[in-house]
Amino acid sequence: MKVLGIDTSSMAASVAVIEDNKLICEYTINTKKTHSQKLMPMIENMLRISDIDVNEMDMIAVCEGPGSFTGLRIGMATAKAIAHVNNLPIVGVNSVELLAGNMDLCDKKICSILDAQRTQVYMGQYKLENEELVELKGVDVVEIEELIEELKNSNEDWILVGEAVYKYEDKLKETNNIHIPASSHNVNRASSLCSIAIKKYNKNIAIHDCYSINPMYVRKSQAEVQYDEKMKRLNDGK
């Protein structure tokens, strides 16, 4: 099975092709350049340099979120378009599970975090059993201070993985049982996305077509929050 993976849920944009258990190619850019500018050129260049035609794909794997609202829409729309044109199934993988997949030989519990703005993070907790990721806590939005306190008081060692570790690095380094992996592990990688998606496909989990899959937002956008606050102030003033 040959799988094209697409992830634009965070600042990084990442695309990859995995055939069975072999990574054929991967292209990741972690800059502030918008995903709408870089995603299609990344896919086209990666496939061209690797002498792969998109018609060879058997499946599309896409990160469904949570993460950047705009980024999710761009990645999802691209995945849907490719799947529609080529009549391919799509498997969705959430972004915190994807990050946990970067730590596939870890002997500690794993907590994935992505920046959710203000002082919050998107979070999921996992452990590895028989080389399979087991979910301990599903996707949630939490205050970073509350999360650090929870992990600190667990009396267990944790790997904290994801780009949000750099935003709160000073706080995390004060906690002895929280460990931060190398920078290559803290970026969303489409190769991990593909690997998890293949396992889901083989178990008949999270398989969609181009019409049924949608982004996982988890919470309202900042614009929606501000609109709700504005309407509440207006209603309170009546």
CA–CA distance, 139 with 222 (Å, rounded to integer): 19
Domain 102-185 grouped into CATH 3.40.50.1820? no
Which percentage of the chain shows pLDDT scores above 70? Answer: 92
CB 114 within 8 A of CB 122: yes
Looking at residue 8, what DSSP letter applies?
Answer: -
Check for a shared fold between 2-95+188-222 and 102-185.
yes
- Taking alpha carbons only, the member of 13, 22, 211, 186 closest to residue 111 is 186
Domain 2-95+188-222 grouped into CATH 1.20.1250.20? no
Residue 226's pLDDT band, with cuts at 50, 70 and 90, is low
Residues near 175 by beta carbon (within 8 Å), at least 6 away in sequence: 148, 151, 152
pLDDT at 81 over 60: yes
CA–CA distance, 48 with 34 (Å, rounded to integer): 22
pLDDT at 5 over 70: yes
Q: What is the mean pLDDT of residues 78-94?
A: 97
Residues near 114 by beta carbon (within 8 Å), at least 6 away in sequence: 9, 10, 66, 67, 95, 96, 99, 121, 122, 162, 163, 164
pTM more than 0.85: yes
pLDDT tens across 114-144, in order?
Answer: 999 889 999 999 999 988 899 999 999 999 9
Domain boundaries, the chain: 2-95+188-222, 102-185
pLDDT at 232: 58
Q: What is the mean pLDDT of residues 56-75?
A: 96
Residue 227's pLDDT band, with cuts at 50, 70 and 90, is very low
pLDDT tens across 166-206, in order?
Answer: 999 999 988 999 999 999 999 999 999 999 999 999 999 99
